[in-house]
Structure 1
Amino acid sequence: MAHTKPIPKVKLFIGIMYVNETFFNKAVEILKQSFGEVEDISESYNFNQFTDYYNNEMGDGQVKRFIVFRDLIDRDELANIKHLTNKIEDDFAVNGKRLINLDPGYLTEHNVVLASAKEQPHKVSIGMGMFGDVVLVYRSGNYRSYFKTFADYKTEFVQKYLLSVRKKYLLQRRSENV
């Protein structure tokens, strides 16, 4: 029988999709008030190359960036974080159309998990009507995707970025002894 042990804290990040840089900057300021200091912000990339799903709502030309927060969180905070980011999206919306899309998730030593309000066979409940979606698994020095992984998370750009975040996260865990 396996015995329980403390579950390590995880690294919070939020993918932000937007068309207007001003809204990105405002969203980052609001998110900092809730989650503290931002440790890193990725370069932006063209999200429209993967899908036109959001064009009717947000317009063409969406770009996406990741913001990574300095403080580690408990995994069970993710559902509440998703509710908060949904409220922020609603606060930015005009006539029911979002100007930003916020996708919170966390990174562990072993995987990358996103929060979702949409139930699917491959997602598990994380409480509060939210689901956890394991989009990448770390194995043999790299991230591995699977057939349900979002297209942008399958790219070399995103995976390299998240590998760099993972490396810093592991150093932080050691230095903070968590």
Structure 2
Amino acid sequence: MSHPHTHSPGPSADASVRTGRTTDAPAVGLVQATVWTEAYADLLPREAVDQFEGPAFASVWRHSLEAPPTPVHRLLVACAGDQVVGFAAIAPADEAEPGVPAGAGELTVIAVHPDARRHGHGSRLLNAVGDTLRANDRTTLVSWLPATDEATRAFLDTAGLHPDGAWRERVVGPEGQTLREIRVQAGL
């Protein structure tokens, strides 16, 4: 006997993280422009935020992907199906900075498009960052973020990245305006 209200499971979300390719540059640029415009609108001078354009970011990413400065430099992308919805970039950390141990890697940026948040993409990206850095013999993860970015700070805190007491003022405006950043870190 057939049951008219029995449903087969629907398609599951095809979510993944992979190493970025040069062909991902336009999508990564769009995600970065969208996320940064949202995140920095109240933190940076208007003329700086107006410069956040997908094609400009895409050009920088394309160049970086074509000629990474070191083997540790890597772009990881989060995908929903074939669509790039987030990214994370890693690099060797500046071990000359006080408090940065030898063998540290840096998460230079992590971003997920606002329409794709709360689907696990950020967590998958952060896990892939840790795995990739460990595979490159890195033992510590550090990252800098705006002191007022409570959402990213809370996200990184749940992953074990905690403020280590370091802070810096980054020049962000044409007239010397600064943005305070704090450093978080965790052992890998």
TM bracket (short chain):
0.3 to 0.5
Structure of larger gyration radius: 2
TM norm structure 1: 0.34
Relative contact order, higher structure (CA 8 A, sep 6+): 1
TM norm structure 2: 0.32
